Amino acid sequence: MTTQAKATPRERLLEAAASLTYQEGVGVGVDALCKAAGVSKRSMYRLFESKDELLTASLEERITAFTARLLPAADDGRPPRERILHVFEQVESRAGAPEFRGCRYLAVQIELKDEGHPASQVVRRVRGNLTAFFRAEAERGGASDPDLLAWQLSFTFDGAVARAGIRTENLAGLIAPTVSALLDNAGVR
């Protein structure tokens, strides 16, 4: 028996939403989502009031894995500079993979444009948490202006994942030196 067969209709819909919206964008249709999940539209609408609710639940469900993959463990004992660089090393290591399309959370925010959309609220929280991580590490590392550095690092993260996602160039060897220059300029140890 396959994993797909063991999964509930809800789990299959969440997986289909995650996969298809990452590959094709939030404009993917309900028919395509249901087909990929092997679930009827009627079943989908019994489980989720709308495609928007499905998208939001799918994003919400992936926060823990996204955070665990991107951020270092809270108690890893590394200095702040290394902890910040870890985030960008994760981006660089994934950027060359053929299936990499950038950050799903950034892509959803760009596509939706509606700040009131429930998925946009999830995205703002995830992205706010990343900026807060940068700010906390910048402060711990002695940055001259932790708020400014956190925004600069967030801006760099967004640019790196966006450019990697659209495959404009190979980012290998570019991200870490850029971030190191920001950290050096801010005095982060």
Q: 102 near 144, Cβ under 8 Å?
A: no
| Per-residue confidence (pLDDT) for residue 140, from 0 to 100 | 97
What is the C-alpha to C-alpha distance for residues 30 and 50, in angstroms, rounded to an integer?
Answer: 9
Structural domains of the chain sorted by starting position, each given as residue range(s) with its CATH number in brackets: 3-61 (1.10.10.60), 63-186 (1.10.357.10)
CA-to-CA separations, 157 to 7, 103, 151, 167, in angstroms, rounded: 34, 9, 10, 15
Q: Give pLDDT, residue 170.
A: 75
Instruction: Give pLDDT tens digits for 106-161.
Output: 999 999 988 999 999 999 999 999 999 999 999 999 999 999 999 999 999 999 99
* Structure token pair of residue 172: 């290998």
- pLDDT for 5 equals 55
pTM for this predicted structure: 0.91
pLDDT in tens, 41-83: 999 999 999 999 999 999 999 999 999 999 999 989 999 999 9
Q: What is the pLDDT of residues 159-176, one digit of tens each?
A: 999 988 887 777 778 899
Q: What are 46's two structure tokens? A: 């019994």
Q: How far is CA 103 from CA 22, 62, 110, in A?
A: 9, 12, 11
pLDDT at 51: 96
pLDDT recorded at residue 155: 97
